[in-house]
Structure 1
Amino acid sequence: MFDFGFWELAIVMVIALLVVGPERLPALAGQIGKWVGKAKRMIASVRSDIESEIKAAELKEILEKQQGEIGELKEMLKGTQNEIEKELDLENENENEDEGKGDRELIRAVENHIESTKQKELLLSSEESAKIGPNMDKAEQKHDDN
């Protein structure tokens, strides 16, 4: 703190001895020691306060910088999320359209099957009636003969 050498300190002590006297010199030295101790503690306290404020300012700068980066990341994530949601919506629409096409195709296939079944039934019934028809005629003739 103060740059006092041995000789400067010795000269100050001799002057203090002459001015104060030998009886009050020890009490004065004790008070000076207390004041020097208080001054050292106060200087150390101020130094630590300044250092902590500097560290706090540095931490605030780092925190603000990181919060800015976090904000950018959040925006990027929101953009990515929106893109993914749009892609999913398009895929769902395509799937719905595909399902609708599949449903329509299934309905057409069922209708075609029903139609072909009806045609087969008509053919079978016409064949049966053709078979039954001559037999009926024969049965009627026999019946008429009797």
Structure 2
Amino acid sequence: MFDIGALELVLVGVVALLVVGPERLPKLARTAGLWLGRARRAFMSVKSEIDREIKAEELKEILRKQAQSNPLESIIEEDGGVSDRHGTRSHRPSKPTAHDPTDPP
């Protein structure tokens, strides 16, 4: 991301030591670390929210395409009957009939 090497970090540390002084440098480093952590958490929060929204939009698009390509042809009712979208009704038996092996075919 920033192409900063070890030599550049050492140089920044030496300059900070000269400018701030050895007594306040640890407190400055801690404060900078806390701010950096807060910024990273805020960035990750925004990023995860954007990712969640993108996934939700993709799911909506997939569901919309699926509904267009495969419309619901019939609705199964609670009593086991089936009615199509025009309201015509056919009835299925609620329990399957058992086949008795002694019955003739």
Query: Would you call these one fold, judging by a TM-score over 0.5?
Result: yes
From the two aligned structures, give the one with the greater helix fraction. 1
Alignment coverage as a number of residue pairs: 81
1:78 alignment counterpart: 85
Matches within 5 A, 1:20-99: 20-69=20-69, 72-74=71-73, 77-78=84-85
CA distance in 1, matches of 2:85, 2:49: 42
Q: Using the TM superposition, give the Cα deviation of residue 78 of structure 1 relative to its aligned residue in structure 2, in angstroms.
A: 2.9
Q: Deviations over 1:18-72 (max 9, x none)?
A: 11111100000000110111111112112111111110110111122233345x3
The one-letter amino acid of 1:55's match is K
CA distance in 1, matches of 2:49, 2:68: 28
Secondary structure of 2:73's counterpart equals helix
Matches within 5 A, 1:117-132: none
The one-letter amino acid of 1:57's match is E
State the structure with bigger RCO (CA 8 A, min sep 6), 1 or 2: 2
CA distance in 2, matches of 1:57, 1:78: 29
Q: Tell me, which stretches of 5 or more residues in structure 1 are unaligned?
A: 86-146
1:39 to 1:2, Cα distance in 2 relative to 1, 3 A: farther
- Report which of the two structures shows the higher radius of gyration computed on alpha carbons: 1
Q: TM-score, normalised by structure 1?
A: 0.47
1:42 to 1:3, Cα distance in 2 relative to 1, 3 A: farther
CA distance in 2, matches of 1:34, 1:28: 10
> CA RMSD of the aligned region, Å?
2.5
Q: Percent identity?
A: 53
2:4 alignment counterpart: 4
